[in-house]
Amino acid sequence: MRSSVSYILSSSTSEPNMSHPDYEQYSHDHAALLVLVRHIGSQLKSKTFTKFYDRISKLNSVRITDSTGNVRNILVRYIKEHPVENNDWGDFQTHRRLLGLVSLGKYDSQQELNEICRVHESLKVKYTNTLFDSRCILFGPTKEGGSSPETSSPSDSSTSSVIEETVEKFTTPSNFKTRGLFYDESGACADLESQIVEFINSLFWVLESKRLERSREKLERVSLLLAPFEKKDFVGLDMESRNNKKKCTGRMTKHLGDLCLQAGLLAESLVYYGGAADTLKTVNDWLWLGAAYEGLCAASALVLYPEMQRNVPLQRNASLQEGSSPKKTVVSNTLDIGTKKASIPNTLAPEDISKRYREAIIHYSKYQNAGIIETEASFKAARIAVEQNHSLQAASFLQNVVYINLTLSEQEKIQRFETLAELYTQIGFTRKAAFCQRLAATRYVSPQNPAPNWNRCYNLMLQSLPGHRLSLDPAEMREVEQGWPVLQIQLLQELVVAAKRMGHSALATRHMTFLLQTMWHHLSPTEQKELSIQLQALSAQCEGSPVPLVLDNGIVIPPANLTNIPVCHTYTLRNLQPHLQPRKIQAVKQDTGPFLFTPIHFGSLDRRSGSTDHTKMGLFV
For residue 384, the SS3 value is helix
8 Å CB contact between 565 and 531: no
Task: Name the region of 469 (left: φ>0; alpha: ψ -120 to 50; beta: rest).
Answer: left
Q: Which range marks the domain in which residue 369 is found? A: 225-309+329-407
8 Å CB contact between 134 and 177: no
Residue 324 counted as domain residue: no
520, 373: one domain: no
207, 270: one domain: no
271, 203: one domain: no
381, 271: one domain: yes
- Whether the upstream peptide bond of residue 566 has omega within 30° of 0, thus cis, is yes
174, 67: one domain: yes
Which amino acid, residue 578? Answer: P
Residue 131 counted as domain residue: yes
Angle between the N-to-C axes of helices 454-463 and 430-444, in degrees from 0 to 180, rounded to the nearest 10: 170
Give CA–CA dist 264/580, Å, rounded: 95
Round the CA-based radius of gyration of the chain to a whole number and report it: 37
Residue 546 counted as domain residue: yes
DSSP 576: P
pLDDT of residue 146: 39
Regions of the chain with pLDDT less than 50? 3-15, 145-167, 313-332, 621
Give CA–CA dist 118/123, Å, rounded: 9
DSSP 540: T
Q: Where are the alpha helices (DSSP H) in 480-568?
A: 485-501, 505-519, 525-539
Among 538, 557, 576, where does a domain finish? 557
Percent helix, strand and coil across the chain, each to the nearest 5: 50, 10, 40
User: Strand 179-184 and strand 549-550: pairing?
Assistant: unpaired
Give CA–CA dist 206/133, Å, rounded: 9
pLDDT of residue 541: 85
Q: Where are the alpha helices (DSSP H) in 450-504?
A: 454-463, 474-479, 485-501
pLDDT of residue 599: 73
179, 95: one domain: yes
CATH classification of the domain holding 255: 1.25.40.10
50, 131: one domain: yes
Give CA–CA dist 457/445, Å, rounded: 7
pLDDT of residue 298: 96
pLDDT of residue 26: 94
Give CA–CA dist 176/153, Å, rounded: 8
177, 49: one domain: yes
Residue 432 counted as domain residue: no
Give CA–CA dist 558/460, Å, rounded: 18
For residue 252, the SS3 value is helix
229, 199: one domain: no
8 Å CB contact between 507 and 557: yes
For residue 173, the SS3 value is coil
Q: How many domains does the chain have?
A: 3
Among 177, 212, 247, where does a domain finish? 212
Give CA–CA dist 580/621, Å, rounded: 6
DSSP 90-124: GTT-GGGSEEEEEEEEE-SSHHHHHHHHHHHHHHH
Give CA–CA dist 144/463, Å, rounded: 46
Indicate the pTM of the whole model: 0.81
Q: How many CA atoms lie within 13 A of 36 on its CB side?
A: 25
391, 488: one domain: no
Residue 491 counted as domain residue: yes
Cβ partners under 8 Å of residue 510, min gap 6: 549, 557, 559, 560
Among 557, 578, 598, where does a domain finish? 557
Give CA–CA dist 520/474, Å, rounded: 12
Give CA–CA dist 462/471, Å, rounded: 10
pLDDT of residue 479: 63
CATH classification of the domain holding 151: 3.40.50
DSSP 542: S
Residue 54 counted as domain residue: yes
Helix H or strand E encompassing 62 = strand 61-65
Residue 447 counted as domain residue: no
Q: How many whole angstroms from its chain centre is CA 201?
A: 31
Print the SS3 string covering 174-234. Answer: CCCCCEEEEEECCCCCCCHHHHHHHHHHHHHHHHHHHHHHHHCCCHHHCCCCCCHHHHHHH
Per the document, the length of the chain is 621
Angstrom CA distances, 382 to 2, 423, 430, 433, 493, stand at: 16, 8, 16, 14, 34
DSSP 136-171: EEEEE--GGGT-------SSSS--B------SS---
39, 125: one domain: yes
Burial class (CB in 10 A: 0-12, 13-18, 19+), 260: buried
pLDDT of residue 586: 75
Residue 254 counted as domain residue: yes
Give CA–CA dist 211/256, Å, rounded: 7
366, 231: one domain: yes
The phi and psi torsions of 65 (rounded to 5 degrees) equal -90, 125
